[in-house]
Amino acid sequence: MPAKFGVTCGGDIWSADDIRAVEEFGYDSFWTGEHIVYHRPIFEAVTTLTRAAALTSRIKVGPATLLLPLRHPTMVAKQFSCLDVQSEGRVLLTVGVGGDYPREFAGCEVPMNERGQRATEAIEIMKKYWTGERFDYDGKIFHLEDVDMLPTPVQPGGIPIWVSGRQEGPMKRAARIGDGWHPYMYTADRCKISFDQVVEFADGYDRKLPDDYAWACFIYVSLYDDLDEARKWGVKELSYRYDQDFAELVDKYCAYGPPERVISYLKDYIDIGVNYFILAPIMPRDDRRAHLDRLAREVIPELEKIEPPKVQ
């Protein structure tokens, strides 16, 4: 089965026409990043995804990535369950612990040193809520007694939860209780190492990862025929988004250049087992539709000819 491709707006506001274009041009999903307190304007995930779900009818919607420790799991379970029902089962959920911007945790009054434990417990709690059964939960952070939640998600077994991150803690979380592993800012080689680590951790938990386990990756794409222009756009965009100079890092973490170069870059990820891409296209705000169209016509069809090997 070929890899699937989604597109993220990166927490920016897109026009209704741009969001509909994601569905029109055949992508599998629409995503948004998020921060709550941050160095630049960025929209909150749930409201952004609700709008996207209302504007579309086929594609999936999800956050890449929801900063789970900043929220109470009961509210997250409720919001995404309701979104899944109202979108008729089109929700995917990737969750991470954040921590790259400490002011955000201070603003939400959440201790930074609790973020991993909070994320683990929140995933466990949400999965329990989505069964529709009553339950108790006595964790280190959260303590719930005789709770349940309706409606449950439309998707059988609940909404898939992919764990996002770059470190060993999230890998272990993905291996033990996740439905997918979703690194970002990883080269293909580093992706492969992390995939092997997740499998190894899963073996340690006596868990056999299911055949539909998501091996995803978040990748920036700067599609321009002129290589220098493509690189320049990549440096500018990533420097803005992460508030640091990406002049030396863009070559590792951005697929840039004409279609054949972008195809070659992304093919390396498919060759090591990536079966789902969340692409962050770098493009002028007034030209998004044309860029999405070109990416869908000139890049993705070539990659869909390649079968990702099974990660094992």
Identify the CATH class of 4-303.
alpha beta
Q: Using CA atoms, how far apart are residues 67 and 63, in angstroms rounded to an integer?
A: 9
pLDDT of residue 312: 86
Q: Report the chain's terminal Cα–Cα distance, integer Å.
A: 16
Q: What is the pLDDT of residues 56-98, one digit of tens each?
A: 999 999 999 999 999 999 999 999 999 999 999 999 999 999 9
Q: 6 pairs with which residues across the strands?
A: 29, 278
| Identity of residue 197 | Q
pLDDT at 112: 96
> What whole-number distance in Å separates Cα of residue 263 and Cα of residue 81?
36
Average pLDDT, the chain: 97
Q: What percent of the chain has pLDDT over 70?
A: 100
Determine the Cα–Cα distance for residues 167 and 184; give it in Å rounded to an integer. 11
CA distance linking residue 62 with residue 90, whole number of Å: 9
- Give pLDDT, residue 41: 95
Spatial distance between the Cα atoms of 218 and 6, rounded to a whole number of angstroms: 9
**Beta-ladder partners of 7:** 30, 279
For 162, the token pair is: 């992919």
**Nearest CA-CA partner of 130 in 64, 60, 74:** 74
- At residue 171, does pLDDT exceed 90? yes
Q: According to DSSP H, which parts of the chain are helical?
A: 16-24, 45-55, 73-86, 102-107, 115-129, 168-177, 188-204, 227-242, 250-253, 259-271, 288-298, 300-303
- What is residue 97's predicted lDDT score, i.e. its pLDDT? 97
Euclidean distance between CA atoms 120 and 297, whole angstroms: 40
Domain boundaries, the chain: 4-303
Res 33 pLDDT > 90: yes
Question: Would you state the pLDDT for residue 106?
Answer: 97
pLDDT digits (tens, 9 = 90+) for 96-118: 999 999 999 999 999 999 999 99
Span 246-268, average pLDDT: 97
